[in-house]
Protein backbone atom coordinates (compact mmCIF):
# COMPACT_ATOMS: atom_id res chain seq x y z
CA UNK A 1 0.00 0.00 0.00
CA UNK A 2 1.16 3.52 -0.73
CA UNK A 3 0.72 4.56 2.91
CA UNK A 4 3.29 1.95 3.95
CA UNK A 5 5.93 4.02 2.18
CA UNK A 6 5.47 6.72 4.82
CA UNK A 7 6.27 4.32 7.67
CA UNK A 8 9.66 4.45 9.41
CA UNK A 9 9.07 1.54 11.77
CA UNK A 10 11.92 0.76 14.16
CA UNK A 11 14.20 3.39 12.68
CA UNK A 12 16.06 5.86 14.89
CA UNK A 13 16.14 9.60 14.31
CA UNK A 14 18.06 12.46 15.89
CA UNK A 15 16.10 15.72 15.95
CA UNK A 16 17.79 18.91 17.14
CA UNK A 17 15.87 21.86 18.55
CA UNK A 18 13.17 19.37 19.53
CA UNK A 19 11.84 20.98 22.70
CA UNK A 20 9.08 22.88 20.94
CA UNK A 21 7.92 24.23 17.61
CA UNK A 22 9.04 22.51 14.44
CA UNK A 23 11.45 20.13 16.15
CA UNK A 24 8.82 18.91 18.61
CA UNK A 25 6.29 18.37 15.82
CA UNK A 26 8.83 16.46 13.73
CA UNK A 27 9.89 14.24 16.64
CA UNK A 28 6.32 13.32 17.56
CA UNK A 29 5.41 12.86 13.90
CA UNK A 30 8.30 10.45 13.43
CA UNK A 31 7.17 8.52 16.52
CA UNK A 32 3.66 8.24 15.14
CA UNK A 33 5.21 6.79 11.98
CA UNK A 34 7.11 4.17 13.98
CA UNK A 35 10.50 5.65 14.89
CA UNK A 36 12.37 6.09 18.15
CA UNK A 37 13.96 9.50 18.56
CA UNK A 38 16.86 11.26 20.22
CA UNK A 39 15.59 14.73 21.05
CA UNK A 40 17.88 17.59 22.02
CA UNK A 41 17.43 21.17 23.17
CA UNK A 42 18.45 23.43 26.07
CA UNK A 43 15.29 23.20 28.21
CA UNK A 44 14.68 19.86 29.91
CA UNK A 45 11.05 20.56 30.80
CA UNK A 46 10.21 21.14 27.13
CA UNK A 47 11.96 17.94 26.12
CA UNK A 48 10.14 15.94 28.78
CA UNK A 49 6.80 17.08 27.38
CA UNK A 50 7.83 15.97 23.92
CA UNK A 51 9.10 12.66 25.31
CA UNK A 52 5.68 12.08 26.86
CA UNK A 53 4.05 12.65 23.45
CA UNK A 54 6.47 10.20 21.87
CA UNK A 55 5.65 7.63 24.54
CA UNK A 56 1.93 8.15 23.93
CA UNK A 57 2.59 7.28 20.28
CA UNK A 58 4.10 3.98 21.41
CA UNK A 59 7.76 4.82 20.84
CA UNK A 60 10.75 5.90 22.95
CA UNK A 61 12.47 9.27 23.19
CA UNK A 62 15.99 9.67 24.56
CA UNK A 63 16.32 13.17 26.02
CA UNK A 64 19.58 15.09 25.69
CA UNK A 65 19.81 18.50 27.33
CA UNK A 66 22.53 20.46 25.56
CA UNK A 67 23.59 23.83 24.22
CA UNK A 68 23.22 23.14 20.52
CA UNK A 69 25.21 26.21 19.60
CA UNK A 70 28.22 24.06 20.56
CA UNK A 71 29.25 21.89 17.57
CA UNK A 72 30.74 19.32 19.92
CA UNK A 73 27.45 18.91 21.78
CA UNK A 74 25.60 18.50 18.49
CA UNK A 75 28.06 15.95 17.15
CA UNK A 76 27.72 13.89 20.35
CA UNK A 77 24.07 13.20 19.50
CA UNK A 78 25.12 10.61 16.93
CA UNK A 79 26.90 8.57 19.60
CA UNK A 80 23.91 9.03 21.92
CA UNK A 81 21.61 7.45 19.33
CA UNK A 82 23.81 4.40 18.84
CA UNK A 83 24.42 3.96 22.57
CA UNK A 84 20.71 4.18 23.44
CA UNK A 85 19.10 2.46 20.47
CA UNK A 86 21.91 0.57 18.73
CA UNK A 87 21.51 2.33 15.40
CA UNK A 88 20.96 5.62 13.60
CA UNK A 89 18.97 6.15 10.41
CA UNK A 90 17.70 9.73 10.21
CA UNK A 91 19.06 13.15 11.18
CA UNK A 92 17.02 16.35 11.30
CA UNK A 93 19.10 19.53 11.62
CA UNK A 94 16.55 21.93 13.05
CA UNK A 95 18.73 24.14 15.24
CA UNK A 96 19.43 27.66 13.99
CA UNK A 97 18.29 31.26 13.86
CA UNK A 98 19.48 34.86 14.00
CA UNK A 99 17.75 38.06 15.07
CA UNK A 100 16.63 40.53 12.38
CA UNK A 101 18.96 43.52 12.20
CA UNK A 102 19.40 46.37 9.71
CA UNK A 103 22.13 45.69 7.18
CA UNK A 104 24.50 48.44 8.31
CA UNK A 105 24.07 47.35 11.92
CA UNK A 106 25.02 43.78 11.02
CA UNK A 107 28.67 43.21 11.85
CA UNK A 108 31.05 40.71 10.31
CA UNK A 109 30.86 38.83 13.60
CA UNK A 110 27.06 38.70 13.29
CA UNK A 111 27.41 37.05 9.90
CA UNK A 112 30.01 34.61 11.19
CA UNK A 113 27.85 33.68 14.19
CA UNK A 114 24.79 33.13 12.01
CA UNK A 115 26.77 30.90 9.66
CA UNK A 116 28.24 28.92 12.55
CA UNK A 117 24.87 28.40 14.23
CA UNK A 118 22.88 27.56 11.11
CA UNK A 119 25.45 25.75 8.96
CA UNK A 120 28.35 24.79 11.23
CA UNK A 121 26.17 22.90 13.69
CA UNK A 122 24.48 21.00 10.87
CA UNK A 123 27.84 20.03 9.41
CA UNK A 124 29.11 18.90 12.80
CA UNK A 125 26.20 16.50 13.20
CA UNK A 126 26.41 15.27 9.60
CA UNK A 127 30.11 14.45 9.98
CA UNK A 128 29.45 12.56 13.21
CA UNK A 129 26.29 10.81 12.03
CA UNK A 130 27.08 9.57 8.54
CA UNK A 131 29.66 6.92 9.55
CA UNK A 132 27.12 5.55 12.04
CA UNK A 133 24.01 5.62 9.86
CA UNK A 134 22.55 2.15 9.52
CA UNK A 135 21.60 2.11 5.87
CA UNK A 136 21.59 0.31 2.63
CA UNK A 137 21.92 2.58 -0.39
CA UNK A 138 19.46 5.44 -0.22
CA UNK A 139 17.71 4.61 3.07
CA UNK A 140 19.72 6.85 5.38
CA UNK A 141 18.28 10.34 5.40
CA UNK A 142 19.36 13.82 6.50
CA UNK A 143 16.81 16.64 6.57
CA UNK A 144 18.01 20.21 7.06
CA UNK A 145 15.59 22.95 8.09
CA UNK A 146 16.38 26.11 6.18
CA UNK A 147 13.93 28.97 5.55
CA UNK A 148 12.02 30.83 2.90
CA UNK A 149 14.22 33.78 3.90
CA UNK A 150 17.14 31.88 2.39
CA UNK A 151 15.37 32.16 -0.96
CA UNK A 152 13.51 35.47 -0.77
CA UNK A 153 15.25 38.77 0.06
CA UNK A 154 13.87 40.46 3.16
CA UNK A 155 14.81 43.67 4.92
CA UNK A 156 16.83 43.11 8.11
CA UNK A 157 17.55 39.46 7.29
CA UNK A 158 21.09 39.77 5.93
CA UNK A 159 22.61 37.42 8.50
CA UNK A 160 19.73 34.96 8.84
CA UNK A 161 18.81 34.85 5.17
CA UNK A 162 22.41 34.46 4.05
CA UNK A 163 23.04 31.65 6.53
CA UNK A 164 19.88 29.80 5.52
CA UNK A 165 20.75 30.20 1.83
CA UNK A 166 24.13 28.67 2.65
CA UNK A 167 22.41 25.75 4.39
CA UNK A 168 20.29 25.15 1.29
CA UNK A 169 23.40 24.99 -0.89
CA UNK A 170 25.18 22.86 1.70
CA UNK A 171 22.27 20.44 1.31
CA UNK A 172 22.84 20.18 -2.43
CA UNK A 173 26.60 19.67 -2.16
CA UNK A 174 26.32 17.19 0.72
CA UNK A 175 23.79 15.19 -1.27
CA UNK A 176 26.32 14.65 -4.03
CA UNK A 177 29.11 13.70 -1.65
CA UNK A 178 26.97 11.22 0.28
CA UNK A 179 25.06 9.59 -2.59
CA UNK A 180 23.92 6.91 -2.97
CA UNK A 181 24.14 5.70 0.65
CA UNK A 182 22.58 8.70 2.40
CA UNK A 183 20.02 11.09 1.00
CA UNK A 184 20.26 14.78 1.99
CA UNK A 185 17.32 17.14 1.53
CA UNK A 186 15.99 20.30 3.15
CA UNK A 187 12.73 22.02 3.99
CA UNK A 188 12.32 25.78 3.59
CA UNK A 189 9.39 26.69 5.85
CA UNK A 190 7.49 29.91 5.46
CA UNK A 191 5.74 31.63 8.37
CA UNK A 192 4.74 28.89 10.81
CA UNK A 193 2.82 29.44 14.02
CA UNK A 194 5.45 28.59 16.61
CA UNK A 195 6.64 30.55 19.65
CA UNK A 196 8.82 32.60 17.28
CA UNK A 197 5.62 34.09 15.83
CA UNK A 198 3.83 34.54 19.15
CA UNK A 199 3.75 38.31 18.73
CA UNK A 200 2.17 37.95 15.30
CA UNK A 201 -0.36 35.36 16.45
CA UNK A 202 -1.56 37.70 19.18
CA UNK A 203 -1.90 40.74 16.92
CA UNK A 204 -4.91 40.54 14.60
CA UNK A 205 -3.64 43.29 12.32
CA UNK A 206 -0.17 41.76 11.84
CA UNK A 207 -1.54 38.25 11.44
CA UNK A 208 -4.11 39.43 8.92
CA UNK A 209 -1.41 41.21 6.92
CA UNK A 210 0.70 38.07 6.76
CA UNK A 211 -2.23 35.85 5.86
CA UNK A 212 -3.34 38.15 3.04
CA UNK A 213 0.22 38.21 1.66
CA UNK A 214 0.35 34.40 1.61
CA UNK A 215 -1.28 32.82 -1.47
CA UNK A 216 -2.91 30.06 0.62
CA UNK A 217 -4.25 32.77 2.97
CA UNK A 218 -3.08 31.15 6.18
CA UNK A 219 0.04 30.74 8.26
CA UNK A 220 1.68 27.37 8.58
CA UNK A 221 1.17 24.80 11.30
CA UNK A 222 4.14 22.83 12.71
CA UNK A 223 2.39 19.68 11.48
CA UNK A 224 2.80 20.94 7.91
CA UNK A 225 6.57 20.86 8.35
CA UNK A 226 6.50 17.54 10.22
CA UNK A 227 4.60 15.94 7.33
CA UNK A 228 7.19 17.22 4.86
CA UNK A 229 10.03 15.91 7.04
CA UNK A 230 8.40 12.50 7.23
CA UNK A 231 8.05 12.43 3.44
CA UNK A 232 11.73 13.23 2.96
CA UNK A 233 12.93 10.82 5.66
CA UNK A 234 10.73 7.87 4.73
CA UNK A 235 10.69 5.47 1.76
CA UNK A 236 8.09 7.77 0.21
CA UNK A 237 10.93 10.19 -0.55
CA UNK A 238 13.47 7.58 -1.58
CA UNK A 239 14.03 9.11 -5.04
CA UNK A 240 14.84 12.57 -3.72
CA UNK A 241 18.23 13.92 -2.75
CA UNK A 242 19.76 17.37 -2.93
CA UNK A 243 16.34 19.05 -2.99
CA UNK A 244 14.88 21.93 -0.98
CA UNK A 245 11.15 21.48 -0.39
CA UNK A 246 9.41 24.86 -0.06
CA UNK A 247 6.59 24.54 2.48
CA UNK A 248 5.55 28.18 2.64
CA UNK A 249 1.96 28.61 1.51
CA UNK A 250 3.09 29.65 -1.97
CA UNK A 251 5.14 32.71 -1.03
CA UNK A 252 6.79 34.63 -3.86
CA UNK A 253 7.76 37.55 -1.61
CA UNK A 254 8.15 37.99 2.17
CA UNK A 255 4.78 38.30 3.90
CA UNK A 256 5.97 40.62 6.66
CA UNK A 257 7.79 43.88 6.00
CA UNK A 258 9.96 44.94 8.93
CA UNK A 259 9.82 48.76 9.06
CA UNK A 260 13.25 50.33 8.80
CA UNK A 261 14.24 53.98 8.43
CA UNK A 262 15.42 55.13 5.02
CA UNK A 263 19.12 55.87 4.68
Catalytic positions, written as ranges: 160
What is the rounded CA–CA span in Å between residue 242 and residue 174? Answer: 8
Query: Which stretches does DSSP call E strand in 19-133?
Result: 36-41, 61-65, 90-93
What is the rounded CA–CA span in Å between residue 93 and residue 146? Answer: 9
What is the rounded CA–CA span in Å between residue 20 and residue 227? Answer: 16
Nearest in space to 132 (alpha carbons), one of 71, 59, 184, 181: 181
- State which H helix or E strand residue 69 sits in: none
- Cβ neighbourhood burial of 176 (10 Å; 0-12, 13-18, 19+): exposed
Nearest in space to 51 (alpha carbons), one of 65, 63, 66: 63
Cβ-contact 8, 32 below 8 angstroms = no
What is the rounded CA–CA span in Å between residue 37 and residue 59? Answer: 8
Nearest in space to 54 (alpha carbons), one of 85, 29, 91: 29
Amino acid sequence: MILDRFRIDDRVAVVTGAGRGLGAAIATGFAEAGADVVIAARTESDLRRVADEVKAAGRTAHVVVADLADPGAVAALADAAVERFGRLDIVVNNVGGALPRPLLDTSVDDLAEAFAFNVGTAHALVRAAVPKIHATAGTGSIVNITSTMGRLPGRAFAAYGTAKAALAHYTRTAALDLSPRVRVNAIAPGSVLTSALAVVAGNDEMRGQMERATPLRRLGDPADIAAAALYLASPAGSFLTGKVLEVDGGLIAPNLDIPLPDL
